[in-house]
Amino acid sequence: MNVTIPSEVTRHRRQRPVPCKRQAPGVVLFIALIFLLILTLLGVLMFSSGSNEQRMAGNFQQKTRALLAADSAIGVAQQAIAQSTITQSASCSGLVTTPRICPYNSLPNPVLDTSWVGSTAVAVRLGSATFGGTIGAGSSPNAYASYPEYNIEQIPGIPAFPGYNLGSGQQYGGGSPQIKLYRITGWGLGGNANAVAVVQSLYLVP
């Protein structure tokens, strides 16, 4: 028995599915590398920003410690003046450890390092008895690079204003009495020689 197959069925059997076009593997790899590069750049930027902030915080801390050291030197100088344990010097030169009062303008450039270190220094350096900090850069995290220093200058020719108490119950009423006014300059270092602070203060003695 012969069976005739319709031509539509024959054509349907002979058709083959057309394969789908796949993307080239190189495009996917390129996109992945781009994302990896972006993530790497973001990581480097975050690490750099964190390092800069840590460095800035460290510098601020050392600057603050230098300021405290200079302020402590001014406190020691004021205490020496108040206790009358300090004398006037005709001329001041060199770096000493004994308190002294220098003539006015004996420290013309207090912001220069040469005014505090070396042969041109004109200052009094604190010691372990008057400064409680640890000395020695790098010896400990809280160490100071050097002992703080100070310079005392008496400002001459300051007349007392009317009503000013001259001490011992005396009041200014006439004449030309003068008051003792001192300019104190303090110098301090933080944990290294790059952290420097110079502070000035006026101290009035009745």
Nearest to 194 by CA among 151, 145, 156: 145
Which percentage of the chain shows pLDDT scores above 90? Answer: 22
Instruction: Render pLDDT for 124-183 as a digit per residue (tens, 0 to 9).
Output: 999 887 787 778 755 566 788 889 999 999 888 776 666 555 554 444 444 556 678 899
pLDDT-derived band at 29, boundaries 50, 70, 90: confident
Give the per-residue pLDDT at 137: 56
Give the per-residue pLDDT at 76: 92
pLDDT-derived band at 13, boundaries 50, 70, 90: low
Q: Domain for residue 25, yes or no?
A: no
Tally of structural domains, the chain: 1
Which percentage of the chain shows pLDDT scores above 70? Answer: 72
Q: Domain for residue 62, yes or no?
A: yes
| Sheet with 196-205, side-by-side order of all strands | 94-96, 122-125, 149-155, 180-189, 196-205
Q: Domain for residue 23, yes or no?
A: no
Residue-number span of the structural domain to which 82 is assigned: 55-205
Q: Which whole number is the average pLDDT over 69-85?
A: 89
Q: Domain for residue 115, yes or no?
A: yes
Q: Domain for residue 176, yes or no?
A: yes
Find all residues with CB under 8 Å of 153, minimum gap 6, and list them.
Answer: 101, 102, 103, 104, 105, 106, 107, 182, 183, 184, 185
Mean pLDDT of the chain: 78
Provide the token pair at 82: 């108040």
Q: Domain for residue 120, yes or no?
A: yes
Q: Domain for residue 26, yes or no?
A: no
- Is residue 87 over pLDDT 60? yes
Phi, psi of 120 (to 5 degrees): -95, 10
- Is residue 67 over pLDDT 80? yes
Q: Domain for residue 185, yes or no?
A: yes
Give the per-residue pLDDT at 171: 46
The more confident residue out of 178 and 7 is 178
